[in-house]
Amino acid sequence: MVDIGGLFGKNDKQNPWIARGEQAYDKGQYEDAAQHFTKALELEPASAKLWTRLAASQRFCQKCDAASRSYAKAVELNPDDGQAWKSLALLLGDAGKYEEALSALGHVVLPDSEVYLKERKYEWLRQSGRYRDAAAVCSQLIAVFPGNIQYRAGYADLLMRSGMFAEARSVYDDLASSLGKPEMFSNAAFCCEMTGDVEGALKRYANLAENDTVGWYRRARLEESLGNFKNASAAYGMIQHYTTGDDVTITVRRALSFYWDGNGKEAAIQLEKVLAKGYANAELWHLLGTISFLNGEFRRAVEAFVEYIHLNQTNNAVWYMKGCAEYLSGKYKEALESFGKMGKLGSAGPSPAKMKWFEDSELDLFDSGPSQKEQIKVEVGVVNEGLLSMQGYALAALGRYGEADKAAGVVLSHAPARLDMELLHSRCLAGLGRYQYAGDAAARVLAKSPENIAALEQHAASMMLAGKYREAAGSWKKLLEASPENTLAYIGLLKACSGTGRYEEAQEIAKLLLSEEYLPRDITVTLLAGEAAASAGNYEEAVTHYQNAAALSSNTPAAFIGLGSGYEMLGEYEKAVEAFSSADEILPDQPGILLALGRARAAAGQSQAAAETYIRIMTDHPDIAGAASHVTTLCADLGLNEQAADAALAALSKGEGRLGLLTLGGDLCRSIDRLDQAQECYTAALKEEPDNIHNLYSIGHVHLLKGEFKLCTEYMDQCLEHEPEHSQALFDKGAAYVNLGRLEDAAKVLRHLTEIDETNTKALLQLAEILEQLHNYDEVLEVYARYLNAGVPNADVVRKLASIYLMRGEYEEALSGYELLIESNPDDIITHRLRAEAFRFLGRDEEAAEACAKMLALRPNDQNIRSMYAASLANIGKTEEALKQYAELTLKDPENTAALFGYAEMLSRMGKYPEAIRYFDKLIGKYPRNSLLHLEKALASIKIGEPKDITSDMTTAAQTDPKNPYVLSGLGFMQMVTGHPTEALAAFDKAEAAGCKDPDLNFCRGIIYLQQSRFDMAEKAADHILKTDQDHLPAMHLKARSLESVGRLKEAVGYYDRIVELSETREDPETSGEE
């Protein structure tokens, strides 16, 4: 009962319903109490305590909804009432409103002692599906009660439900090991499965209790997914053992496990159990029929297939299996009826309905085994000879001889006496191309059954394919003895005779077969007769047979192929071309026909047509052996390098290449920039003939083209070992050295090349470029001279020579070069300009001006030439003309800074300083940071002679270029002259910091110090100058004055004496020279 001490205040007398409610509550009359508290709330609706008391009364009356609403009102009025929140949460939780209960409980902090509320919170979170949060609360309970097994088990369950399988596994493992409860192993194993730990899951499933059906089911499904069907079936067996009544799903799954494990008998037993219960499902009958068929129980298989057909008559495959079962059980008549039914039904109908107790994903087991993360290859556990033999024949029919032979081998290992499997083994060996082994297998059958016609035929055919026609002929003859009318044996004997060179006997057999008694108009025999005649060298007779064959069947290409071959042997190539063309029309794009057609066309002199034919072969049949070599040569002769290269590479890929083809292929690939393939060809060629100079050079050249310069030099060195004066190798080696940055080595190689081949102008140019990079201009000039002496006119060489002379300051020589260029091309304006520049460099400004004037006559709008013209005029003193040119420049381009500067400079030269200053101001407005402009303006101001303007301009220049020591020192001098000693000293300090080493700076500084009576500083300034120049007279004067001013007269007199002595010496140079 809730304590109500101190619950009410002084207004109890004003609200009598409170006391009445309290009395009723104490007496246990909760309904009356609730009524009284309700009336009390009508007077005091904002009293949270009254709402709490009303809720408590309603709760004891089992009016939980009303109590919840009252508690909600109470906490609304007093949110800090923790007890009310708890009570509200418990009521909401009891009502199944878990989220609301959790929300209410969230307003209260639960201490560790509040175990009951934590348990309720844990339960509400679990019921709400918030397993992760529930696990967190459960972990708090475990912290309080670590030995509580229920909490730990619940915690593990919540972890598993929230997907935290690794943590859940750890808890389950701990419970299983500490408590010895095997049921925990099941959940731990499941968690292992979910984390991908298959081995861990199997390890834990091994500890399952025998009656843990859930755990056994999980283990069974895991074993299924891993392909361990034997273990799966055992697990399903445990479930069946401990489950009352047979569960259909479990029984069917166990049957499937037995089936996939190869234990067909047990699978059938399980299916019989299901069907015995009356589950007439088509799929189950089909499965039972299939398993019974594979078990060799054909009678039961037929019965099962009949039941299946009753439920689903549209699946013709079942009629086929029923027919096979009836055939194998000896019921041939019924089998024929079944096969007939199958033919009438046509293609397979829809599949039967799914079994209602299986999911779609589970039914995959009926078709293809378990489809888990990876498909499991099932090894048949029990050998079923019938199944394997049928599989073997089916696989052989499909051309899958390797698998068929494996099946036959398994059957023979269990039933060595089965001759049909021996013959299947022989057939498979033949299909795999192992003809001798196939013949040996057939011979083993003949040893056991000499009159076995199938074995004779197999042996003969195998020997034919093995090329042992003599042994094949013997078998064909034995076969004809056993079956004299076997025309196929005659045909085989005919082929064998031809194969052994017994052409006359082959012709006799062909004549016999073409007689009226046998096959007079048989196309096959006619073709074989033609082949025998051709093999015997009777080409005219062969042509006759092939003509007959063509007449018998105009759509048979073999007749025209043989006819074309016969004409080829007779030298009638044009007729051969017609025959092969007819074969190509009948059977287009066949490589053999195309090869023959191309060969015939080439022999007939139809080179272009032959090339087109071979190109078709190379395009449509790139892997044809033998064709590629012919295509290479033919296309190369026709200049079709790309097609020829493709052909050569195709031939080489088949191992057809010899040295000549390898070299040709490399040359072709190199000519069309297939450098990697060219390299492969040359490499293979060098393996056959390592000292081949052409291939050594060619592969080195390929490396050069690919940028593999080091390899290039290695191969060129090998080439030069065999032919030291190989000019191409030397040139490529030099080029490789250039690209490797080894210019000295490159120059050395090219010097050698040009010495042995003075006419190699390409090498001379390359050598000159290298020497130019090495700045060896003397030798560059020599090389260019050799080039010109070779008699090859080259304006570029002359231009380079002139440029080098110009760069070396040999302007006269450069000028001579430009003169030569102008002679060969008078309209070359660029050379004219370079010539004018050379004149300027030589100081021949009059000639430069004359040259510029001529160029301006041709190109009056060329501002660069006009600018050069103006500068030349200025240099020869034609200031006014220069001024006009600069004016012209600024008129056409007011933004031309150089022209503006030149114009201002000309004005300054002409003494028009104010006007010059105006233009300098204009330039400074555009380029305020250009210190040169400020200096020029300052110089103009100096010419005017206004110190203030000079100082102002110098100050501006110093601000523009604060690191210019000359500007700073000039500013200091102007400050000194204008009576600003402090500013002057500051400027001198800045100039000195900027790197000014001029002794005049210290001298000016000393003069200022002397004027300021700072004699010690003046002396220091003089000493600073005299350290570097002991005979500096102004510094001696400064030193003497400083000493005199401080009373050090004796020292001052010594300096004055020294000044007089130096002055006399400098006035008498002859005396100075004698001394």
Give the C-alpha separation, 432 to 875, whole Å.
99
In single-letter form, the type of residue at position 824 comes to S
- 353 pLDDT more than 60: no
d(CA 456, CA 419): 13
Question: How many Å separate Cα 672 from the centre of its chain?
Answer: 28
Which one, of 162, 164, 160, lies nearest residue 186 by Cα? 160
1056 has a pLDDT exceeding 50 = yes
Q: 223 exposed, middle or buried (CB, 10 Å; 0-12, 13-18, 19+)?
A: buried
Write out the DSSP string of 699-737.
HHHHHHHHT-HHHHHHHHHHHHHH-TT-HHHHHHHHHHH
The H or E element spanning position 1019 is helix 1015-1028
| pLDDT score of 891 more than 70 | yes
Q: How confident is the model at residue 533 (pLDDT cuts 50, 70, 90)?
A: confident
Q: How confident is the model at residue 354 (pLDDT cuts 50, 70, 90)?
A: very low
Predicted pLDDT of residue 288 = 78
Asked whether residue 389 carries a pLDDT value surpassing 70, the answer given is no
pTM (2 decimals)? 0.39
Q: What is the pLDDT of residue 119?
A: 67
Q: What are 611-620's pLDDT values in tens digits? A: 788 778 777 8
Bigger pLDDT: 375 or 525? Answer: 525
The CATH number of 485-553 is 1.25.40.10
**Which tops the pLDDT comparison, 1060 or 21?**
1060
Which segment, 362-371, 405-414, 936-945, is predicted with the most confidence on average? 405-414
Average pLDDT for residues 431-454, to the nearest whole number? 87
Q: Is the pLDDT of residue 416 over 70?
A: yes
Confidence of residue 764 (pLDDT cuts 50, 70, 90): confident
Q: Which residues contact 402 (CB under 8 A, 6 or more apart)?
A: 428, 432
Taking residue 375's Cβ as centre, other Cβ atoms within 10 Å add up to 11
Confidence of residue 197 (pLDDT cuts 50, 70, 90): low
In tens, the pLDDT along 450-487 reads 888 888 888 888 888 888 888 888 888 887 777 777 77
The answer on pLDDT for 358 being more than 50 is no
Domains 383-469 and 485-553 share a fold: yes
List, in order, residues 6 or more apart from 196 with CB less than 8 Å away.
Answer: none
| Mean per-residue pLDDT of the chain | 74
What is the pLDDT at residue 381?
43
- Separation of alpha carbons 1051 and 1048, rounded Å: 6
pLDDT band at 796 (very low <50, low <70, confident <90, very high): confident
Please check whether residue 388 is in contact with residue 411, taking contact to mean a CB–CB distance below 8 angstroms: yes
pLDDT tens, position by position, 201-245: 666 666 666 666 666 667 667 667 767 677 667 767 676 666 766
How much is the pLDDT for 629? 73
| Closest C-alpha to 578, from 591, 551, 596, 592 | 596
CB neighbour class for 209 (10 Å; exposed up to 12, middle 13-18, buried from 19): middle
Token pair recorded at residue 501: 């060179």
DSSP state of 369: S
Considering Cα of 579, then 583, then 586, then 591, what sign does the dihedral take? negative
Per-residue pLDDT reduced to its tens digit, 853-868: 888 777 888 778 887 7
pLDDT at 374: 32
**Tokens 């007011």 belong to residue:** 894
Q: What percent of the chain has pLDDT over 70?
A: 71
Q: Helices marked H in 312-363 — which ranges? A: 316-328, 332-345
Q: From residue 710, how far is each of 681, 693, 704, 733 by CA, in Å? A: 20, 19, 9, 9
pLDDT surpassing 50 at residue 369: no
Burial class (CB in 10 A: 0-12, 13-18, 19+), 246: middle
The CA distance from 653 to 360, in Å, is 52
Compute the distance between CA of residue 492 and CA of residue 469 in angstroms, rounded to an integer.
10
The reported pLDDT for the residue numbered 355 is 39
Mean pLDDT of 10-32: 71
| Helix-strand-coil split of the chain, %, nearest 5 | 75, 0, 25
Q: Quickly name the fold that domain 383-469 has.
A: 1.25.40
How long a stretch of residues is the chain? 1075
Question: Regarding predicted confidence, which is higher, 125 or 565?
Answer: 565
- Is residue 533 within 8 A of residue 547, CB to CB? The reply is no
Give me the mean pLDDT over the 345-354 stretch: 43
Residue type, 398: L
Find out whether 566 and 545 touch, Cβ atoms under 8 Å. no
Q: What pLDDT shows up at residue 922? A: 76
Band of the pLDDT at 142, cuts 50, 70, 90? low
Q: Which value, in Å, is the radius of gyration of the alpha carbons in the chain?
A: 58
Higher pLDDT, 382 or 914: 914
Residue 290 DSSP code: H
Do 663 and 682 form a contact (C-beta atoms < 8 A)?
Answer: yes
The conformation of residue 1014, written as its DSSP 8-state character, comes to: -
What the block records as the tokens of 703 is: 């490396």
Phi-psi region for residue 37, left (φ > 0), alpha (ψ -120 to 50) or beta?
Answer: alpha
Domain ranges of the chain: 383-469, 485-553
**Residue corresponding to tokens 């096979």:** 324
Which of the two residues, 941 and 3, has the higher pLDDT score?
941
Say if CB 657 and CB 666 are below 8 A apart. Answer: no
SS3 40: helix
pLDDT tens digits along 736-761: 888 888 888 888 888 887 788 877 77
Instruction: Return d(Cα 213, Cα 559) in angstroms, integer.
Output: 76
As to burial, measured by CB atoms within 10 angstroms (0-12 exposed, 13-18 middle, 19+ buried), residue 196 is: exposed
Please write the tens of the pLDDT for every residue from 933-971.
Answer: 666 767 666 667 666 666 777 777 766 767 778 777 777
Q: Does the pLDDT value for residue 705 go beyond 70?
A: yes
In whole angstroms, give the CA distance from residue 421 to residue 454.
12
Give residue 1075's identity as a one-letter amino acid code: E
The pLDDT assigned to 848 comes to: 78
Average pLDDT over residues 972-988: 76
**Whether pLDDT at 501 is above 50:** yes
- pLDDT of residue 777 exceeding 50: yes
Cα–Cα distance, 362 to 377 (Å, whole number): 18
The mean pLDDT value for 75-91 works out to 72
